[in-house]
Amino acid sequence: MKKQERADFVFDYLNAIYLETPIPLNHNSIFELLVAVLLSAQCTDERVNIVTPVLFSKANTPKMMVKLSVEEIHDCISSCGLAPKKSKAIAGLSRILIDKYNSEVPESFVELESLPGVGHKTASVVMSQGFGHPAFPVDTHIHRLAQRWGLTNGKSVTQTEKDLKKLFPKKHWNKLHLQIIFYGREFCTARGCDGRNCKICKTCYPLRKSPKKTYKA
């Protein structure tokens, strides 16, 4: 199989098994989504979905969030990884949203990535899942699977994103990145598949003899 043939198979197969792609992080506004995605770094979505109702019951808008101290925010999110850093970022970005954006989450990569604690992946999730703009957020699952499937050399998350964007039509990016995440959690897991076990790996590389070594995100 050539690279584009592998990509086409991946696309068709994932569309067959994942008809629906619900957003994993629970939220009721783009601000809540932004905070939830920020919290998801080095933390499972399941944990974030346990933590955010506690935080959002106290503050679910920038104006309400700045009324909380950093310590109060930390107390709500303490079970998430990097909680001290994240609590400061949430407080900081809330203040910036009030002062600079009239309490609204900006609808651009440049402005989102200028906010405390918001990197390119977080901005990509907000742009795709919050605003509906085409984006291809690359998390650890996507980075791992793209390498196992021979869609990228995986030397960096940035390179993986570029390679995937070239292989798949822009109109499908938002749904596809979720489908890959779901498949990575269910079938092509970090330990459950080594590049030779799941349906897609076996189809893309039926003669692969050794485990596929991958770069971490």
pLDDT at 119: 96
pLDDT at 40: 96
Active-site annotation holder among 86, 139, 163, 194: 139
Active-site annotation holder among 63, 75, 121, 166: 121
**Given CA atoms 108, 112, 113, 118 in this order, what sign does their dihedral have?**
negative
CB 9 within 8 A of CB 203: yes
Q: How many CB atoms lie within 10 A of CB 42?
A: 10
pLDDT at 22: 96
Q: How many CB atoms lie within 10 A of CB 214?
A: 18
Up-side HSE of residue 58: CA atoms within 13 Å toward CB?
A: 15
Domains and CATH numbers, the chain: 3-20+136-204 (1.10.1670.10), 30-130 (1.10.340.30)
Taking the C-alpha atoms of residue 202 and residue 181, their distance in angstroms, rounded to an integer, is 18
The 10s digit of each residue's pLDDT in 10-59 is 999 999 999 999 999 999 999 999 999 999 999 999 999 999 999 999 99
Per-10-residue mean pLDDT for the chain, 217 residues long?
Answer: 97 98 97 98 95 98 98 97 97 98 98 98 98 96 97 95 98 98 96 96 97 92
163: DSSP letter: H
Active site residue 12: no
Active site residue 86: no
